[in-house]
Amino acid sequence: MDAIFDDFSQAQKQCDGNLLSQTLSPALSNEELRAIWRTCNAYDVKSVVKRGLQTSEIGKKGAIPKEELQCWTELYAAYWKSAGELLASSQASWTKVYEDWKEVLSILIRGYMSCGFESWTIPCLFVTGKYLREFAIKADAERGSSLDNAAEPNFQDDFDPEAQKNHCLEDCARQLNRVFNLCLSDRAPLESSRKWGIYHVANLLFKTYFKLNSASLSKNILKALSAGRGDMPPLEAFPKSQQVTFKYYEGVLRFLEEDYVQAEKFLTEAWSMCHNNALKNKELILTYLVPCHLLTTHTLPSKKLLEPYPRLQKLFLPLSQHIRKGELHQFDIALQENEDELVKRRIYLTLERGRDIALRNLLRKVFVAGGFEPPKTEGDKPVRRTRVPVAEFAAAISLGSQETLDNDEVECLLANMIYKNLMKGYIARERGIVVLSKSGAFPGTGV
Amino acid sequence: MVPSWPPVPPPPGTQAAAGFASPYQTTAFTPVQVRQSFGQPYPAPQPAYPVHAYGSPSHVTQSPQTNHSPSVTPASPAPSAEPARKKTVWPESVRNYVQRSFLPANLDDTVSRQEMEAKLKETITAANDGGYMYTINWEAMPLPQQMIKAERARSHTVQPPPAIPTADPSFSSPPAATSKKRKSSDLTDTDLAAGAWRNNGNRLEDRVTFTADKRLTANESPKTMSKFQKQQQKNMEKRQKRFHGDYTTHREPSPPPSDGPVVGTCQTLEKRYLRLTAPPVPSQVRPESVLRQTLELLKQKWRKEQNYSYICDQFKSMRQDLTVQNIRNEFTVEVYEIHARIALEKGDLGEYNQCQTQLKALYQRGIKGKPLEFKAYRILYFIHTANRSALNDALADLTTAEKAERPIKHALDVRSALALGNYHRFFRLYNDTPNMGAYLMDMFVGRERLAALCNLCKAYKPDVPLRFITEELYFESDADAAQFILDHDGQHLLEDRNGTVVFLTGKAGQHFEGPRAAAFARVDIKGQI
């Protein structure tokens, strides 16, 4: 505990928010926690803390207003209580840890709201918020195994199946939202505004919403941010780590809304700013950036790009290869093999659309294999054969799968290619042929 | 003994039903009466607290003025063996309860006297030890024989009482009828069991008159003391207790109703749905055994009358009763499944979604039902709402084995056909939809037709026979196909050429793009999941 008071004093003197936030970190070894826990007991904890803070270097100077010091006292007292709960957490419950830690966060919020905590101390909010989320997840996991809500009275018409599962994490999201608004609504001049904490908290909230499987709630955050954008420091002025995370989430959210152009823009920004050694983060970014690229520009990732990421190689390389070669059937198989993994990452439905590109490549092969028309007069530039029987395409499509499609279905696939501008031409149904454009039958592919 | 008792024993089969709450059972369908019963103060815990959170003290203080019923006090003290042996002085309400249990009218052949005595002892001791002897509503307490039977029914160790028709297993069996779309009622009609009741009309009659009988008896029971009056009486007793000073001793242990789910005692089959705003009253909640009979009744009524607003209302009240009693078993699943099917057939997506949400959770708990059928509906529904992230979740929820099962495979094929723009396959799948999925597919088949038309118009030149459109987009007839085109102002695109109508795709241009975009923009909001 004395070490905490020393650090507190030191941090207050130098206005060092990070050092201060470390005094509130619960990520300590059991010995350290026990040391803290043993300094006092439930009866004298407040006086011990108060004395500790008052007799510390900064306290002696009287540099901290009485009211603020009182709030810090309560904060550390609550922290001490959590430390005890954490020590007991192997036998007791994470729910209690969560509840106690929530109290720490509440006191902290109160400190900002009414006790004049200065804005340089906001890293304390980050640390407490971060661990609140972790404790909530642990509490939910623990309860999930031993839960039956049979005892709770229920006046509703139906059960609420979700209510129990993520009980703590949902509450945590609400707490973090309070912190978000605490930062957002600060009217102090920018130099000393809590607004500098906004993106950090926003990222924490995104993370929580994604975990809760309600990513769409993130939109509220984005809305609040863009509404307040006028009197906020620009995103570029924030630490890069926060920028990258924020852009990543913004990109993924667009991705989930199927706005692949915007998604690609944000993800590319995140990609280019991401720290070179942050492999895990880069992998995450690529997971969504690669499908974006496939849909927007029809380009595939190179082996070299995916080299450092064996997992992504497994997901993307076979698919890419089959798309490139126009191997429809193998594409289907590869997609199916990785289905669970792809669904989990929410990219299955997007990658599935890569089949269009695979089909385009296959049809293009048929067209190229058709060769050239005999020139009408000597010396004319050779013209490709642009009238291709539907049957030829049909044969190509059923090549890998051994399953024959009837001509109507083949025509349907061709119609799709034409409709999506992947192929230029038209189907003359009566004659059973496809008439392709003489100039650029497959736009963007050189033929 | 008790003057308020029906002099004639009710007909066999209605055993415990008639006694209490009778004034409220008359007809479950007059809203006034339901409201009446709601106005009655929640009997159990509130008056027990000296400090009240909500306005119940007014009830307590009112009671002396409004209690006009001298007949409430039973004439003689209970001679009944069990509690009398004890030294404790039992309150009037408990003695009444014991008396009531042994009334010949309430006796049940399947429950022996020993069992009843044991149960009584257990109940009363628990009440005494728990300190809620004076606070509990003994009027509403289920009789020991009822409790025993409820326990039996719940544990399924003993066959359900004879009055309960066994759940119709036919709901899953494939339809014999070859109609393209099944109705929720078809599901029961087509198999042997259903056939049996059809041939044997007696059974149905029996059941119907049976329920009518029962209500009649309830009506006839004397009304010398209304439930409300009893309540007032009880309140007064409590009030007197409080003045005697020993009242606070009953405060400490939390009163039983909030300790766990209610155990219903209501024996009426039908009940109107009313949203709960206070803890449920056991006398107005039907136990599972009654609900099972209700379900049978509702199935028949649905087949016969097809009155959706009635059926929906009844199913909602059943769901409420199940929920407040915390009943989550295969029967619960069956109730939700049937309601979901009926709502689906009637296009009530709000109720349908509520049921689906419940079913998902119930299946996840490992309770048996028809998860394949309903998971397939989920997928089709998400296709309809174009909710890709929910679709992704639904996919994540499937096991490899499930993906191979017909209903789910069908839904997945529909999904992938649409994702790849393969309208040809999509319309073939539409024609071959298992269960009641066609009701869901109907919701988006129109817009997919428009999308396919857009495709065709861009890809085919100069024209195609109308018959081709009819076949590709699965219209019932050429006339239907033509009508669809006309409906979207496409009259100039149809041409009669030597007796065959052709569709001038080459001339259509962007004609169907507008309607297509409009059709895809409209997605239902009601109770969306």
- The stretches in chain A having pLDDT less than 70 are 90-92, 144-157, 160-164
Same domain assignment for residues A137 and A279: no
| Cα gap B239→B64, rounded to integer Å | 9
Taking the Cβ of residue B79 and every Cβ of chain A, the question of whether any pair is shorter than 8 Å is answered with no
CA-CA distance, B476 to A89, in Å (whole number)? 67
Residue with tokens 């509702």: B298
User: What is the pLDDT, as a whole number, of residue B232?
Assistant: 66
- Residues B415 and A227: their CA atoms lie apart, in Å, by 38
- Position B24 scores a pLDDT of 41
Number of independent structural domains in chain A: 3
β B500-503/A425-428 pair status: unpaired
Given this model, what pLDDT does residue B377 score? 95
Q: Which residue has the higher pLDDT, B84 or B363?
A: B363
Nearest chain A residue to B513, by CA: A419
Nearest-neighbour CA in chain B from A359: distance (Å):
11
The helix (H) or strand (E) run that includes residue B285 is none
Residue of B nearest to A165 (CA): B361
Which tokens is B170 given? 């036919």
- Partners of A384 in the beta sheet? A372
pLDDT in tens, B362-403: 898 889 999 999 999 999 999 998 888 889 989 998 998 999
The DSSP code for A56 is S
* Res B292 pLDDT > 90: yes
pLDDT tens per residue, range B2-48: 445 544 444 444 444 433 434 443 334 333 333 333 434 444 444 43
**Predicted pLDDT of residue B155:** 60
User: What is the reported pLDDT for A288?
Assistant: 96
CA distance B448 to B455: 10
Cβ–Cβ of A159/B320 closer than 8 Å? no
Are residue A404 and residue A279 in the same domain, yes or no? no
- Let me know whether A221 and A319 are in one domain: no
Do residues A284 and A268 both lie within one domain? yes
Interface list for chain A against chain B, based on CB atoms closer than 8 Å:
150-151, 153-159, 161, 213, 215-216, 256, 258, 339-340, 343-344, 346, 348-349, 352-353, 355-356, 408-409, 411-416, 418-420, 426-429, 435
Are A213 and A276 found together in one domain? no
pLDDT at A357 (0 to 100): 94
Note whether B186 and B177 are within 8 A (CB). yes
Please tell me whether residues A329 and A216 are part of one structural domain: no
Q: Compare CB distances from A258 to B278, B388, B471 and report the shortest one's residue.
A: B388
pLDDT of residue B42: 43
Instruction: Pick the residue from chain B with its C-alpha nearest to A147.
Output: B365
pLDDT given for residue B227 in this prediction: 59
- Cβ contacts of B400 within 8 Å, gap of 6 or more: none
In terms of domains, do A51 and A120 share one? Answer: yes
- Which runs of E-coded beta strand occur in B309-435? none
Structure-token pair, residue B158: 């003993």
A314 and A422 part of one domain = no
Paired sense of beta strands B500-503 and B464-465, if any: antiparallel
Cα B435 from Cα B415, distance rounded (Å): 17
What would the 3-class secondary structure string for B50-115 be? CCCCCCCHHHHHHHHHHCCCHHHCCCCCCCCHHHHHCCCCCCHHHHHHHHHHHCHHHCCCCCCHHH
Using alpha carbons, list the distances in angstroms from residue B451 to B379, B444, B501: 20, 11, 22
- Domain end residue (candidates: A203, A233, A263): A233
Distance from CA of B81 to the nearest CA of A (A): 34
**Per-residue model confidence as pLDDT tens digits over B451-510:** 999 999 999 988 899 999 999 999 999 999 999 999 999 889 998 888 889 999 988 888
pLDDT value for B239 = 57
Q: Tell me yes or no: is domain B444-521 CATH 1.10.10.10.
A: yes
B313 near B302, Cβ under 8 Å?
Answer: no
Q: How far is CA B47 from CA B50, B52, B65, B241, in A?
A: 7, 8, 17, 11
pLDDT per residue as tens digits for the range A168-218: 899 999 999 999 999 988 888 888 888 898 999 999 999 999 998 888 889
**Distance (Å, whole) CA A290 – CA A267:** 10
Residue at A204 is within a domain: yes
Report the pLDDT value the prediction gives residue B257, as an integer from 0 to 100. 46
* pLDDT higher than threshold 80 for residue B222: no
**What is d(CA B60, CA B73) in angstroms, rounded to the nearest whole number?**
19
User: What are the chain A neighbours of B459 within 8 Å (beta carbons)?
Assistant: 411, 414-416, 418-419, 426-427
Q: Is the pLDDT of residue B64 over 60?
A: no
Task: Classify residue A99: in a domain, yes or no.
Answer: yes
Other C-beta atoms lying within 10 Å of the C-beta of residue A207 = 16
CATH number at residue A402: 1.10.10.10
* Residue A149, in any domain of the structure: no
Token pair listed for B74: 């039973």
Same domain, A67 and A199: yes
What is d(CA B149, CA B281) in angstroms, rounded to the nearest whole number?
20
Q: Which of A352, A378, A413 is the last residue before a domain boundary?
A: A352
Q: Which domain holds residue A374?
A: 370-436
What is the reported pLDDT for B428? 94
Would you state the structure tokens that stand for residue B145, as one six-digit string?
């024989």
Per-residue HEC secondary structure of B122-137 comes to HHHHHHHHHCCCCCCC
pLDDT at B228 (0 to 100): 61
Angle between helices B288-305 and B308-324 (to 10 degrees): 170
Cα dist. B44→A29, B244, B364 in Å? 51, 20, 35
Whole-number Å distance between alpha carbons of B438 and B344: 10
ipTM of the complex: 0.82
Q: Would you call the peptide bond into A234 cis, given omega within 30 degrees of 0 as the criterion?
A: no
Residues A173 and A293 in one domain: no
Look up residue B9 and give its two tokens. 């024993």
Question: Chain B closest CA to A410's CA: distance in Å?
Answer: 9
Phi-psi region of A421 (alpha: psi -120 to 50; beta: other; left: phi over 0): left
Question: Quick one: average pLDDT of B310-339?
Answer: 92
Cα–Cα distance between B325 and B254 in angstroms, integer?
A: 19
Residue B145 near residue B171 (C-beta atoms within 8 A): no
Structure tokens, B356: 């689906």
With respect to residue A403, please indicate whether it lies within any of the assigned structural domains: yes
> Residue B415 — very low, low, confident or very high, per pLDDT cuts 50/70/90?
very high
Are A116 and A9 in a shared domain?
yes
Break chain B into its structural domains and give their ranges: 15-158+226-253, 444-521
Examine the domain organization and report whether A333 and A390 are in the same domain.
Answer: no
Cβ A156–B388 below 8 Å, yes or no?
no
